[in-house]
């Protein structure tokens, strides 16, 4: 066996020091297993052996044959033919493993493996194998931009030939068409060298044909299609396409009105992601999620050597910037950490760019979402990196900020002159959103910085005067104008002034530095911004603000707030200061059963020092109290990571617990109140609905700690009973956070009478909404509902709405509730209102279970339900008409009742027990339904109606049960089913007592 392993062909290129990994060993085992089956066998014997083996070990045989195809070209045709004959899943296993191999190991493939992969893809396309388009998508990601090496060019041209040869197949996949257009538009830009002109012309012809013939599909690419078309606009074919796009859009697609339609549509993240190889993507994600600021230089240097070292790789920077801007959107927790932020990575890409054309394209990639930004459709995370690059580079890399501001001013009139006003509005929308969301406190220090050239400052102030004036049209930064009195651009070699150069110049802009922040921790970089935060406060408070930013403690915050007097700081300045003071703090967390020491430690955050002022009274303290509330309002309007409401709830809970512990007398301890009015006042001042505010705070709590959320739940539902019970968003925030232990805790609190989360009123709306939740979330909900002893009558209205395929969680829970109930008219009516589905066994299962103990009652109820669907028959013929009377116009329809009875009949036939249909009441109801039904209904349910013609009535299920238990029974049961029915209805068996909660075993 060892000898055979050593002779196995190789999928991957391995160096002498590399060990085999799990993937390689797995494929070698599968290959050896495959060879052991077919070695020294005739073709028929090999085929029989493979068919026998594939029944037992399908995946192992498939992988062995896949490796043979990829490593043995001489056997590939025969092996692929055998693979298609023995496959049991339409090659799904092969496709899934092929995609995994490509995404994880393509760069290590042998040359033979790469060639065979392309051959295999062509064969599967030729045979129309379902799912091969996803393999093509993954492989195209390795057709990298900025790479003109032979291996990459071979892949690019081979894939292009495959698509040209199989154009009819390609047209079936609109998403793949978009991917192909987006990929080759980007690659055409790089193939502008003599050696690649033939390939480039082939790419141009193919892409032009795809765009013109499938423009309706290509429209889905959005604004980045325009960006890529701009880069190749000088090619004659694309120049003509541009003329049609701008002047004759209807010729391309009837639904295409103008280029603005594209520019206002955001490009899907999947296409931005597709222009980086999976390996590049993993490295960039690691850099922006794992590497600490100040420790990132070695990673960046490695990345540059690996991917950005060649002249043609300059164009790759635009792809990376679009990926970082549009795809990498860090969480609030990551934003608050010391991980290298996105703006720092983008700043590094800009400062290391040595080509002016690439630099211009990189700046356009950075600002591209600004140009037609719509706050309703676009994401602020797409515009945040650009403003932060300019803001943070002003101190240590002012030339970067200068070139970006210059670009931003020039792009307004020059991007597309007819749309200059729309571009201006898009940029203004971006800046306004940046201020509203408090990405930066204000833009004046950026736009009026003395480090900018005088002419550039003048241009910026004229372009963005709304953002850098004090209302009188005068600059507010108090800068002194310096430099050339003639007013021309200042070209200097000094460290503080940028040197501008036109895009057409051969030499790049000289990027100078004064002090380099690259090796500083992120917290230290943020500390350098303190003068801006402190400068917004009154002079006497500035030292205290510095202390607060240093210590970030509740004590320092209290000292600052106590010192607030006349003049008072503005709420905006105080909001910015406290947001900065807590942004690097760890999220709010406690253990499952927090100790007093742990709670006191958690209250050390600066934000908690503000809450005591909400409960004080007096003239002077009232002004301070209003200042605090205004500050909370300002923080809330910033929509930052800081949730004041959550911290307030936590503070009130800690105070409540502390007061309870301090009160030794049990009677007086019960009188301690949870100060819920403080939270209500906070909501009123901020004009928030109390229930929605609680839901918002609990959703923020999900990001912090599930233990905090569970710890707050009993008090929230007790103190805000009306607003919290049945609140859908609040409930979803809870059930989407719980684990099994926390769910058990809530169930125990409910059974103890310390938690009431539901009320019967309007519970149907909540249950209907919950049907779209995740499985475990619905499981938690129904466990909590059962613990609250919600009756089956409360859930009856949703029974007809539940889909057997889509709502399995709810149906299972309702089924177990019905298991504890006796059959009655209301429940049966709702059951029979469900639509008919051959796979839906919900109604049949319920009825069959009830028949085990209440068959006669079920038969009586069903017969009445069926009889009353036909108004021609009077229900007065029944013995007890008032007991089971159903309004003639009540649902369900006659066809629904017959449909469910037909399903019940089939089930009874399978169990060889037709006793319920041979009851006298059922016989009469079926005969009545048959006589009053149309011919088509009679034909449809002929088997069901035939049951009414049988004379011999077998013994009932109840009686059979008694016989099996050797109990004396009435010997007339065989001849008098009516007497049996009478006995059963008058004296039914005592039903089992309903359980209070559904156990885990249920």
**Contact between 230 and 360 (Cβ < 8 Å):** no
**Cβ pair 828, 863 in contact under 8 A:** no
pLDDT range class, residue 8, cuts 50, 70, 90:
low
**Averaged pLDDT score across all residues of the chain:** 80
Backbone angles phi and psi of 227, in degrees to 5: -60, -45
Please tell me the predicted confidence (pLDDT) of residue 840: 83
Crossing angle between the packed helical segments 342-351 and 384-396, to the nearest 10 degrees: 60
Place of tokens 């008694």: 962
Residue 109 forms beta bridges with which residues?
12
Neighbours of 485 (CB within 10 A): 7
pLDDT at 316: 92
DSSP, residue by residue, 730-784? HHHHHHTT--HHHHHHHHHHHHTTS-----STTHHHHHHHHTTS-HHHHHHHHHH
Residue 677 burial (CB < 10 Å; 0-12/13-18/19+)? middle
Kindly state the percentage of the chain with pLDDT values over 70: 83
Distance CA 460, CA 410 (A): 10
Higher pLDDT, 530 or 109: 109
What local confidence, expressed as pLDDT, does residue 406 receive? 92
What is the per-residue pLDDT for 15? 67
pLDDT of residue 494: 36
**Strand, coil or helix: what is 339?**
strand
Q: What is the pLDDT of residue 853?
A: 84
Summarize the confidence of residues 464-487 as an average pLDDT: 46
pLDDT at 521 over 70: no
| 706-730 mean pLDDT | 89
How much is the pLDDT for 620? 56
**Per-residue pLDDT averaged across 966-981, rounded?**
37
CA 886, CA 825: separation in Å to the nearest integer? 8
* 358 vs 365: CA distance, rounded Å: 10
How would you label 298-310 residue by residue, b for 16+ Cβ within 10 Å and e otherwise?
A: ebbeebeeebbee
CA distance 583 to 643: 12
Please give the span between the terminal C-alpha atoms of the chain, in angstroms, as a whole number.
50
Give the model's pLDDT for residue 578.
Answer: 84
**Sign (positive or negative) of CA dihedral 370, 373, 375, 378:** negative
- Contact between residue 160 and residue 176 where contact means Cβ atoms under 8 Å apart: no
Q: How confident is the model at residue 626 (pLDDT cuts 50, 70, 90)?
A: confident
Rounded Cα gap, residues 238 and 240, in angstroms: 5
pLDDT at position 500 over 90: no
pLDDT bucket at 239, cuts 50 / 70 / 90: very high
CA distance 250 to 120: 40
Give the mean pLDDT of 570-587. 79
335-350 average pLDDT score:
87
Name the residue among 695, 641, 639 with its Cα closest to residue 333: 641
Average pLDDT of span 627-652: 82
Peptide bond into 209 cis (omega under 30): no
Rounded Cα distance, 669 and 749, in Å: 20
Phi and psi, residue 109, nearest 5°: -65, 145
- Mean pLDDT, residues 133-159 taken together: 93
- The mean pLDDT of 193-206, rounded to a whole number, is 92
Res 140 pLDDT > 90: yes
pTM > 0.85? no
Maximum distance among all Cα pairs of the chain, rounded to whole angstroms:
122
Residue 284's pLDDT is what?
92
Is the pLDDT at 978 greater than 80? The verdict is no
Cis peptide before 567 (omega within 30 of 0): yes
CA dist 335 and 339 (Å) reads 8
**Are residues 331 and 557 in contact, defined by beta-carbon separation less than 8 angstroms?**
no
Mean pLDDT of 956-978: 41
Is it the case that residue 512 has pLDDT exceeding 50? Answer: no
Question: From CA 993, how far away is CA 837, in angstroms rounded?
Answer: 32
How would DSSP label each residue in 300-328?
Answer: HHHHHHHHS-SGGGGGHHHHHHHHHHHT-
**Signed CA dihedral, 348, 349, 355, 360: sign only:** negative
In terms of Cα–Cα distance, which of 347, 286, 295 is closest to 522? 295
**Which of 548-557, 578-587, 822-831 is predicted least confidently?**
578-587
Residue with tokens 């008919």: 836
Distance separating alpha carbons of residues 307 and 299, to the nearest angstrom: 12
pLDDT category at 524 given cuts 50, 70, 90 is: low
Select the more confidently predicted residue: 100 or 508. 100
Cα 738 to Cα 52: distance, rounded to the nearest angstrom: 47
Host H or E run for residue 819: helix 808-819
Higher-confidence position of 960 and 916: 916
Tokens linked to 337: 């950490």
Does the pLDDT at position 762 exceed 80?
no
Residue 855 and residue 878: Cα distance in Å, rounded?
Answer: 18
Q: Does the pLDDT value for residue 967 go beyond 70?
A: no
Residue 388's nearest CA partner among 347, 425, 357 is 347
pLDDT of residue 959: 45
pLDDT, position 873: 43
φ, ψ of residue 12 to 5 degrees: the values are: -115, 155
Q: Which residues pair with 339 in a beta bridge?
A: 292
Check residue 764 and give its pLDDT. 83
pLDDT tens, position by position, 28-49: 888 888 888 888 778 788 888 8
Q: Is 551 exposed, middle or buried (0-12, 13-18, 19+ CB in 10 A)?
A: middle
**CA-closest candidate to residue 858, choices 910, 894, 812, 904:** 904
pLDDT reading at 878 higher than 90? no
Confidence of residue 240 (pLDDT cuts 50, 70, 90): very high
Number of H helices, E strands in the chain: 55, 0
Six-digit token pair at 901?
């009875």
Q: Mean per-residue pLDDT for 472-476?
A: 36
Cβ contact 589:603 at 8 Å: no
In angstroms, the CA 349 to CA 477 distance is 31
Q: 596 to each of 122, 593, 654, 659, 925, how far by Cα in Å?
A: 68, 10, 9, 11, 70
Q: Please check the confidence at residue 614 and state whether its pLDDT lies above 60.
A: yes
Reduce the secondary structure of 30-90 to three states and give it as a string. Answer: HHHHHHHHHCCCCHHHHHHHHHHHHHHCHHHHHHHHHHHHHHCHHHHHHHHHHHHHHCCCC
Angle at 314 between CA 151 and CA 369, to 5 degrees: 115
For residue 367 the two structure tokens come to 């600002």
Between 4 and 893, name the one with better pLDDT.
893
């Amino acid at each position: 066996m060892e000898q055979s392993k050593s002779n196995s062909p190789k999928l991957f290129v391995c160096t002498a020091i590399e060990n085999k990994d799990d993937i390689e060993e797995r494929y070698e085992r599968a290959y050896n297993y495959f060879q052991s089956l077919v070695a020294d066998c005739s073709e028929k014997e090999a085929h029989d052996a493979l068919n026998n083996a594939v029944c037992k070990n399908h995946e192992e045989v498939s992988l062995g044959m896949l490796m043979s195809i990829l490593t043995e070209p001489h056997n590939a045709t025969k092996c692929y033919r055998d693979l298609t004959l023995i496959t049991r899943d339409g090659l799904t296993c092969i496709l899934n493993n092929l995609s995994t191999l490509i995404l994880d190991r393509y760069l290590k493939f042998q040359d033979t493996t790469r060639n065979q992969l392309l051959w295999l893809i062509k064969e599967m396309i030729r045979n129309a194998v379902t799912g091969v388009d996803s393999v093509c998508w993954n492989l195209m990601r390795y057709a990298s931009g900025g790479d003109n090496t032979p291996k990459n060019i071979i892949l690019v041209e081979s894939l292009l030939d495959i698509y040209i040869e199989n154009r009819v197949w390609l047209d079936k996949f609109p998403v793949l068409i978009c991917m192909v257009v987006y990929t080759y538009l980007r690659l055409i830009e790089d193939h502008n060298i003599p050696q690649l002109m033939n390939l480039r012309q082939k790419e141009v012809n193919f892409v032009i044909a795809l765009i013109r013939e499938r423009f309706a599909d290509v429209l889905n690419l959005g604004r980045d299609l325009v960006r890529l078309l701009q880069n190749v606009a000088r090619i004659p074919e694309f120049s003509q396409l541009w003329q049609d796009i701008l002047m004759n859009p209807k010729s391309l697609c009837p639904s295409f009105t103008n280029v603005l339609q594209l520019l206002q549509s955001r490009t899907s993240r999947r296409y931005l992601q597709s222009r980086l190889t999976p390996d590049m993507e993993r490295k960039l994600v690691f850099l922006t999620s794992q590497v600490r600021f100040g420790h990132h230089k070695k990673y960046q240097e490695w990345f540059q050597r690996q991917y950005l070292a060649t002249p043609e790789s300059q164009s790759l920077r635009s792809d990376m910037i679009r990926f970082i801007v549009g795809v990498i959107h860090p969480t609030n927790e990551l934003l608050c950490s010391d991980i290298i932020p996105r703006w720092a990575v983008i700043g590094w890409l800009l400062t290391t760019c040595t080509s002016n054309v690439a630099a211009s394209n990189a700046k356009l990639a950075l600002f591209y979402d600004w140009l037609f930004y719509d706050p309703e459709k676009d994401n602020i995370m797409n515009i945040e990196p650009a403003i932060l690059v300019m803001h943070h580079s002003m101190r240590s890399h002012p030339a970067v900020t200068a070139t970006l501001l210059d670009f931003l001013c020039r792009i307004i009139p020059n991007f597309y002159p007819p749309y200059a006003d729309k571009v201006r509005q898009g940029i203004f929308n971006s800046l306004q959103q940046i201020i509203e969301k408090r990405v930066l406190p204000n833009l004046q220090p950026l736009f009026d910085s003395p480090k900018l050239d005088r002419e550039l400052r003048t241009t910026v102030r004229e372009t963005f005067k709304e953002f850098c004036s004090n209302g009188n049209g005068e600059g507010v930064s108090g800068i002194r104008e310096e430099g050339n009195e003639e007013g021309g651009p200042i070209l200097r070699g000094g460290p503080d002034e940028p040197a501008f150069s036109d895009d057409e110049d051969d030499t790049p802009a000289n990027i100078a530095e004064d002090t380099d922040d690259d090796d500083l921790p992120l917290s230290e970089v943020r500390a350098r911004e303190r003068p801006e935060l402190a400068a917004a406060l009154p002079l006497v408070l500035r030292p205290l603000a510095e202390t607060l930013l240093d210590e970030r403690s509740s004590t320092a915050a209290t000292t600052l707030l106590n010192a607030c007097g006349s003049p008072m700081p503005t709420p905006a300045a105080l909001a910015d200061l406290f947001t900065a003071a807590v942004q690097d703090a760890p999220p709010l967390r406690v253990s499952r059963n927090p100790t007093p020491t742990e709670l006191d430690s958690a209250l050390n955050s600066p934000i908690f020092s503000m809450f005591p002022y909400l409960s004080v009274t007096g003239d002077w303290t009232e002004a301070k109290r209003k200042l605090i509330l205004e500050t909370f309002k300002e923080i809330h309007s910033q929509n930052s990571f800081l949730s004041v409401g959550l911290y307030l709830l936590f503070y009130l809970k800690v105070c409540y617990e502390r007061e309870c512990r301090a009160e030794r007398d049990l009677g007086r301890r019960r009188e301690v109140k949870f100060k819920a009015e403080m939270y209500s006042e906070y909501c009123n001042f901020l004009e928030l609905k109390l229930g929605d505010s609680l839901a918002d705070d609990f959703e923020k709590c999900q990001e912090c700690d599930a233990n905090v959320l569970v710890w707050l739940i009993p008090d929230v539902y007790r103190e805000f009973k009306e607003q919290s019970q049945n609140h859908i968003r609040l409930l979803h925030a809870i059930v989407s956070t719980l684990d099994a232990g926390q769910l058990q805790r809530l169930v125990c609190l409910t059974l103890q009478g310390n938690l009431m989360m539901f009320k019967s009123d309007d519970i149907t709306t909540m249950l209907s909404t919950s049907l779209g939740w995740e499985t475990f979330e619905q499981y938690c909900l129904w466990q909590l509902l059962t613990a609250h002893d919600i009756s089956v009558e409360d859930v009856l209205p949703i029974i007809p709405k539940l889909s057997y395929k889509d709502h399995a969680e709810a149906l299972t829970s309702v089924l177990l509730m019905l298991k504890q109930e006796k059959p009655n008219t209301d429940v049966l009516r709702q059951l029979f209102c469900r639509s008919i589905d051959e796979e839906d066994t919900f109604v049949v299962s319920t009825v069959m279970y009830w028949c085990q103990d209440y068959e006669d009652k079920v038969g009586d109820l069903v017969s009445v339900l069926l009889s009353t669907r036909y108004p021609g028959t009077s229900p007065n013929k029944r013995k007890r008409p008032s007991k089971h009377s159903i309004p003639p116009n009540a649902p369900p329809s006659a066809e629904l009742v017959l449909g469910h009875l037909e399903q019940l009949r089939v089930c009874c036939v399978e169990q060889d027990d037709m006793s319920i249909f041979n009851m006298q009441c059922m016989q009469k109801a079926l005969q009545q339904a048959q006589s009053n039904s149309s011919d088509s209904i009679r034909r449809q349910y002929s088997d069901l109606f035939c049951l009414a013609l049988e004379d011999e009535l077998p013994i009932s299920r109840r009686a059979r049960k008694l016989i099996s238990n050797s109990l004396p029974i009435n010997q007339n049961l065989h001849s008098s089913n009516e007497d049996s029915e009478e006995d059963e209805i008058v004296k039914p068996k005592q039903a089992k007592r309903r359980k209070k909660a559904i156990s885990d075993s249920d």
